[in-house]
Amino acid sequence: MPLNNIKAIDPELYKLIRKEEKRQRDQLEMIPSENYASSAVLEALGTVLTNKYSEGYAGKRYYQGNDNIDKIEKLSVDRAKQLFNVPYANVQPHSGSPANSAVYFAILKPGDLMMGLKLSSGGHLTHGHTDVTLSGRFYKSIQYQVGEDGYLDYDEIEKLAMEHKPKIIVSGTTAYPRILDFKRFGNIADKAGAWHLADISHIAGLVAAGVHPSPVEYAHIVTLTTHKTMRGPRGAVILATDKGLAKDQELGVLIDKAIIPGTQGGPHNNTTAAIAICFKEAMSENFKDYSKQVVKNAVVLAEELKKFGFVLISNGTDNHLLLIDLNNKNIDGWCAAWALEYGGIVVNRNTVPFDKRSAFYPSGIRLGTPAITSRGMGESEMKTIAGWINEVINIAINHLSDDIQSDNKEKSRKARADFKKKIKTNKDIKRIADEVKIMCTEFPAPGLK
């Protein structure tokens, strides 16, 4: 995109933006929560819509001059309702965490009991994780988790729900590679007399395309982010279903009030417009084909990595992501993630179920296929990528020192710094990064062509 004005006013920032463009062009973006927005989405984000304040909702603004903004927001809302087949949508949340916080603000009181998936089992911070989070501090929390096989144990979830009777049950994940049984979650919530919030932030695009089952029939409220598998801007949406409105006819009003004045001020109108674009793009046959390929690619990548001896949580995937337990490789997720980045493959370190390591130096890595599939890559490329991942990890293992896992923090810090320096300058790592760059050139990234 032309950045002439930025270049003239702030050359330092201009150079950093161009460097980030180059990084995104030349590396394989495999963090499953990241993707490439289309050129149309990027254009919308840079429009004059960012200049306007618009507290309130269409037809009920607190500021003048919002006729055009009203139409843009209504367009975004209507498309959200059509795409997910719901009677209510709020497109104003700034991101996924504020969306979930607004839902809690709408229907819970401080001290109410909530129930969500444990972070180390693939849940999210906003699903009741300890008192370092808003959800864990202001509400009581009971957490369910996956079993030893890496799958959710729905019988155990039901047992916990009936024992503790939470006010809300959250079904949703950030690092769970299997299909979610929203119907079972809905039945459990009904039995326990709880609200059912389905957080589909990671799988929203797959749900919209019909590649993953929809929670709409079984949940009262659905939250989603508009980036990740949706390929839109960094925003979020709250949906209320027929089931939710049937439970409480004021639900839509409560959610609207929870956004403003409850937890936010003015919406980001440039983002609202970009959300409208991404929803229109998601209604196309091309998007359905893309979403199917995301899953195909993830399955092939999983099978290829297993051939190299990688341990996958739940032994595979049904969706867009893979979670790898590196304990059998004797390397932690921090070292693996840095080595892979220097090799041109960007993943994130991640805890695994029953992890004995810390969240900063966890036992696993999380990776996925949404962004590389947006570049047009297919099953053949997944096999090549699996080989690169295996080669990088083996090189990294050969450069580890015992001091990396030392209880002496200073000794461990120095060992990790030395590890990064050696890996960054390793000739074979550089060779792989060059090979990755060649593949990336063959498959240009949307919005960066």
- In sequence order, the 6+-apart residues with CB closer than 8 A to the CB of 419 are 335, 338, 396, 399, 400, 401, 404
Choice among 34, 55, 78, 303 that is catalytic: 55
Concerning whether 431 is annotated as a catalytic residue, the answer is no
Choice among 79, 118, 228, 231 that is catalytic: 228
Concerning whether 234 is annotated as a catalytic residue, the answer is yes
- pLDDT at position 80, please? 98
Choice among 81, 140, 165, 234 that is catalytic: 234
Q: Long-range pairs for 310-316 at CB < 8 Å and ≥24 separation?
A: 310/390, 312/177, 313/122, 313/146, 313/150, 313/177, 313/352, 313/353, 313/364, 314/146, 314/149, 314/150, 314/151, 314/176, 314/177, 314/178, 315/149, 315/150, 316/177
Q: Are domains 45-282 and 285-442 of this chain identical in fold?
A: no
Query: What tokens does 154 get?
Result: 């729905």
Concerning whether 55 is annotated as a catalytic residue, the answer is yes
The correct CATH number of 45-282 out of 3.60.15.10, 3.40.50.880, 3.40.640.10, 3.30.450.260 is 3.40.640.10
With beta carbons less than 8 A apart as the criterion, state whether 399 and 419 touch. yes
Distance CA 232, CA 45 (A): 10
Choice among 133, 225, 241, 351 that is catalytic: 225
The correct CATH number of 285-442 out of 3.30.2320.50, 2.40.50.140, 3.90.1150.10, 3.30.465.10 is 3.90.1150.10
Choice among 29, 73, 158, 199 that is catalytic: 199
The type of residue at 208 is: A
Concerning whether 228 is annotated as a catalytic residue, the answer is yes
- pLDDT at position 449, please? 66
Choice among 7, 34, 52, 53 that is catalytic: 53
Domains of the chain, by residue range, sit at 45-282, 285-442
Instruction: Name residue, tokens 């999210």.
Output: 124
pLDDT in tens, the chain (449 residues): 789 999 999 999 999 999 999 999 999 999 999 999 999 999 999 999 999 999 999 999 999 999 999 999 999 999 999 999 999 999 999 999 999 999 999 999 999 999 999 999 999 999 999 889 989 999 999 999 999 999 999 999 999 999 999 999 999 999 999 999 999 999 999 999 999 999 999 999 999 999 999 999 999 999 999 999 999 999 999 999 999 999 999 999 999 999 999 999 999 999 999 999 999 999 999 999 999 999 999 999 999 999 999 999 999 999 999 999 999 999 999 999 999 999 999 999 999 999 999 999 999 999 999 999 999 999 999 999 999 999 999 999 999 999 999 999 999 999 999 999 999 999 999 999 999 999 999 999 999 86
Distance CA 262, CA 187 (A): 30
- pLDDT at position 395, please? 98
Longest alpha-carbon distance in the chain = 65
- pLDDT at position 247, please? 95
Sign of the Cα pseudo-torsion (288, 98, 217, 140, in order): positive
- pLDDT at position 2, please? 84
Q: Write down the pTM of the prediction.
A: 0.96
